[in-house]
A and B are shown apart, each in its own frame.
Chain A
């Protein structure tokens, strides 16, 4: 206890003890225990730190401590141009980098008044959905691993590797892609990439069914997560839950449907919801969403229009490299954009997409300069973790692992 006191900031302990302030720290030692979980703990999905107050094995207080991965994104965004920040968005939610790329460019395009051509939008939709599948696969796998089913993790990672192979063909990087550009995408999607995506979607569903079979018939898994970490609809909205977690509480809210961006209103897909709001519902929901995403990708591949993948706005959209090397005009534009940025008009906007973890939004304040005056990243994981105390209190300590796994936080974007 003394050591904990020494190493933990008194204010954090205070917050932990505040729930029932008839105890002092000494008292707590006699009756209860304070347990430190993380930041280096395999089940905290990165560097989340939880301070738990235990009565026996039951949790009566929980204080999450963030910031172990605070990298200063917002400050950096204020110091670099809109183009320069695209690679940084990869590292926000590093399980689905493509979706973040899409979110960033859409926000900048809204600010600058650019519209990407149809084909680029379709490609973006495809990559965002594939990224969602990849992210949910990791989420489900890691969740299962946390509660003890290791095989599923290996299986889902194997599927995810196939998606990474698509990225590899598409943009040359398997993990941190930076594929989108303001006003389009970096390069046109090659036929091989599209063929590979098609192949992936076709073979994906049987594998998913296999995963499902393995887990759904596993009594240990089901009993471990059923009815654990329940949150009601009202609480979920009030506490800022978003994305799959919110839908698992019975709120049919999805920005793809409620505030359509790209061409989602041309797509036919369902928004799965569950009403239980527990870990099991969140797991089922992720699997269902994978299927819906696969459906969207299939439609996108069918309807993919031909045409350019860059908006024709030389002052704002980076020209293609082969043109830069051969044409004077393009060279000048390239120079101007790289050095001074795209200078969107004065104003402020907020644009959000339905990322794989929930509402991923960017709020910009522009003063007409090449870099944003203010850039706020609204990250879904941050808001999801906020309700963790609400979810874990009253449960056993081993359930914490399951609950964290089921809400799937990514510290890269929670800590920014």
Chain B
């Protein structure tokens, strides 16, 4: 059940470069577990044998942002922590996605208090808001599948973030892909 099934007798397939890049990307999303508090424990549970995130090609949790393309922000982000989260996000290479896991990261959750940021979308672009306090591990897997769906629909030429373009940052020339 993979590429091999198609390749069986002909030995080649015709497809778009866009499609194949998106397919490759979405099947190996490497998460950056930005575990801050309670939700991080449920994020750990996703990696354990019962829920097994490896089924979705995302078991490679990297603690260095430079090797990841999906940031799972799990836990309450306080004002003191916010610059750190942002910095780690900035260190991740494009293209990148963000899951705001749990009520806290999405809206501040049950912490309507002076030190908690009321939703990380105030300083980060967020792709998926995940409800629950904490979301069950199944729920996180669902979010991961949604992200994969999103990646699958994205064209390779759209794979970098918009703000970067606006700031005039020069992107490396990838002729084949971009002029497709």
**Chain B residues, CB < 8 A from A94:** 37-38, 41
Identify B111's interface contact among A46, A71, A157, A158, CB under 8 A. A71
Shortest C-beta distance, A81 to chain B (Å), equals: 14
- Whole-angstrom distance between the alpha carbons of A343 and B81 in the complex? 37
Interface stretch of the complex, out of B19-27, B72-80, B163-171: B72-80
Number of A-B contacts (CB under 8 A): 84
Shortest C-beta distance, B74 to chain A (Å), equals: 11
B34 touches A87 (CB 8 A): no
Interface stretch of the complex, out of B4-12, B43-51, B142-150: B43-51
Q: Which of A112-154 contact B (CB under 8 A)?
A: 138, 154
Q: Which of B108-163 contact A (CB under 8 A)?
A: 110-116, 133-134, 136
**Chain B residues, CB < 8 A from A67:** 78, 80
**Chain B residues, CB < 8 A from A157:** 44-45, 48-49
Sort chain B's interface into a size bin: 20 to 34
**Chain B residues, CB < 8 A from A40:** 34, 63, 84, 88
Identify B37's interface contact among A42, A174, A411, CB under 8 A. A411
Chain A interface mostly helix, strand, loop or mixed? loop
Closest B residue to A72 by CB, please name it. B113
Identify B84's interface contact among A39, A70, A72, A158, CB under 8 A. A39
- Whole-angstrom distance between the alpha carbons of A39 and B75 in the complex? 13
**Chain B residues, CB < 8 A from A174:** 136
Residue interface mask A84-116, B partner, CB < 8 A = 1: 000110110011000000000000000000000
**Chain B residues, CB < 8 A from A39:** 81, 84
Shortest C-beta distance, A77 to chain B (Å), equals: 10
- Whole-angstrom distance between the alpha carbons of A42 and B88 in the complex? 14
Residue interface mask A61-84, B partner, CB < 8 A = 1: 000000111111001100000000
Closest A residue to B76 by CB, please name it. A71
**Chain A residues, CB < 8 A from B113:** 71-72, 75-76
Shortest C-beta distance, B110 to chain A (Å), equals: 7
- Whole-angstrom distance between the alpha carbons of A211 and B118 in the complex? 42
Shortest C-beta distance, B140 to chain A (Å), equals: 12
- Whole-angstrom distance between the alpha carbons of A90 and B76 in the complex? 14
A175 touches B81 (CB 8 A): no
Q: Knowing A68-B84, A70-B78, A71-B76 are in contact, say whether A41-B38 is a contact too (CB < 8 A).
A: no
Q: Would you call B68 an interface residue if the criterion is a C-beta within 8 Å of the partner chain's C-beta atoms?
A: no
A412 touches B114 (CB 8 A): no
Q: Would you call A176 an interface residue if the criterion is a C-beta within 8 Å of the partner chain's C-beta atoms?
A: yes
Q: Would you call B42 an interface residue if the criterion is a C-beta within 8 Å of the partner chain's C-beta atoms?
A: yes
Q: Knowing A47-B81, A71-B113, A175-B134 are in contact, say whether A154-B49 is a contact too (CB < 8 A).
A: yes
Shortest C-beta distance, B117 to chain A (Å), equals: 11
B50 touches A175 (CB 8 A): no
Between A and B, 29 residue pairs with Cβ closer than 8 Å are A40-B34, A40-B63, A40-B84, A46-B40, A67-B78, A69-B37, A71-B116, A72-B116, A76-B112, A87-B110, A88-B110, A91-B37, A91-B110, A94-B37, A95-B41, A138-B41, A157-B44, A157-B45, A157-B49, A158-B48, A158-B49, A161-B45, A161-B50, A164-B45, A175-B41, A175-B134, A175-B136, A176-B134, A412-B38
What is B's interface to A at a CB cutoff of 8 Å? 34-38, 40-42, 44-45, 48-50, 63, 75-76, 78, 80-81, 84, 88, 110-116, 133-134, 136
